[in-house]
Copies of this chain bind each other. A is one copy, B any other.
Amino acid sequence: MIPANRALPIGVFDSGLGGLTVVKEIRRRLPGEDIIYVGDTARVPYGTKSPDTIRRYALQISFFLIQRRVKAIVVACNTVSAVALRALRSLPIPVYGVIEPGARAAILGSKSLRVGVIGTPATVGSHAYKKAIQRYAPSARVWETACPLFVPLVEEGWTDHAVTRQVARDYLKPVLAHGIDALVLGCTHYPLLKDTLGAVAGARVRLIDSAEETARDVENGLRNANALNDPERAGRSQFFVTDHPASFARLGGRFLGKGLPSARRLAFENL
């Protein structure tokens, strides 16, 4: 018999679809866990919005998840992790972000300690990755650059397209010029661009996928708190979105790596 708190679901949220790459990794590592996912598709994208607007949205979603009785919240969005994690850490349950795990992984495998970071304007403007990386390795050199067109290109489905390759070359050029050996994909949409980014960055540059690293952090955190659910059971996932569920279901499979169960509509006015 598993105690009640272990049996509670994990709450995961993002501005839209990108966080599903984190759900995919959590389900791979922790198949016994139930997951409640919220994608704020009516207000996506967050990355070009201001920090106080992003914090307000993140708190609204977190209150919804807490009302649904989750045992932990995973902020599966680099933008929210970058600007709102401190505010969310005042909540009465454990909150996991995607920045720390990615920063740690970048440093652990870096020989030159020269690291590139790509993300949304809000993430890059916060310098959250640079600060996190230099907490682990104060002598590390970090170059950050904003790539605001990558999210719309992924959501357009142009993950393997000449335009996307040209945009990637333009965006990465100043960062690659510094001879980095690791590039942090600082947005949960970017794992879908891994092939394109890898081709542009070259084999010498490791690509750091924060979705994988974050799932590892969640596993360790829940294990240390003795809060993992029975790994033999089959976890279930529920999906909530703030815009129409149909388009979420249509695109979501690409991020999740398999079919998406139907999502339900969530209206913040009604909370």
Contacts from A to B (Cβ < 8 Å) = 41-43, 48-50, 52-53, 148-149, 151-153, 155-156, 158, 162-163, 166-167, 170, 242-244, 246-247
B156 touches A163 (CB 8 A): no
Beyond A148-B155, A151-B152, 6 additional pairs, beta carbon < 8 A: A42-B49, A43-B43, A50-B244, A53-B242, A149-B152, A162-B166
Q: How far is the CA of A12 from the CA of B221 in the complex (A)?
A: 50
B-side contacts of A149, CB under 8 Å:
149, 152-153, 156, 158, 163
- Chain B nearest CB from A198 CB (Å) reads 20
B-side contacts of A247, CB under 8 Å:
48, 50
- Chain B nearest CB from A147 CB (Å) reads 10
* CB nearest neighbor in B for A269: B56
Q: How far is the CA of A152 from the CA of B148 in the complex (A)?
A: 8
- Chain B nearest CB from A265 CB (Å) reads 9
B-side contacts of A153, CB under 8 Å:
149
Selected from B53, B151, B163, the residue in CB contact (under 8 A) with A42 is: B53
Copies in the complex: 2
Q: How far is the CA of A268 from the CA of B27 in the complex (A)?
A: 37
* CB nearest neighbor in B for A170: B163
* CB nearest neighbor in B for A146: B156
Closest 9 CB pairs of A and B: A50-B244, A152-B152, A42-B53, A53-B243, A49-B243, A43-B43, A50-B243, A163-B166, A148-B156
Q: How far is the CA of A144 from the CA of B153 in the complex (A)?
A: 20
B-side contacts of A151, CB under 8 Å:
152
- Chain B nearest CB from A230 CB (Å) reads 38
B-side contacts of A43, CB under 8 Å:
42-43
* CB nearest neighbor in B for A50: B244
* CB nearest neighbor in B for A121: B247
Query: Which of A50, A52, A170, A246 lies at the interface centre, i.e. has the most chain B CB atoms within 10 A of its CB?
Result: A50
Instruction: Write 7 A-B pairs (CB below 8 A) sorted by A numbering.
Output: A41-B49, A50-B246, A148-B152, A149-B158, A151-B152, A163-B163, A163-B170
Q: How far is the CA of A73 from the CA of B170 in the complex (A)?
A: 41
B155 touches A163 (CB 8 A): no
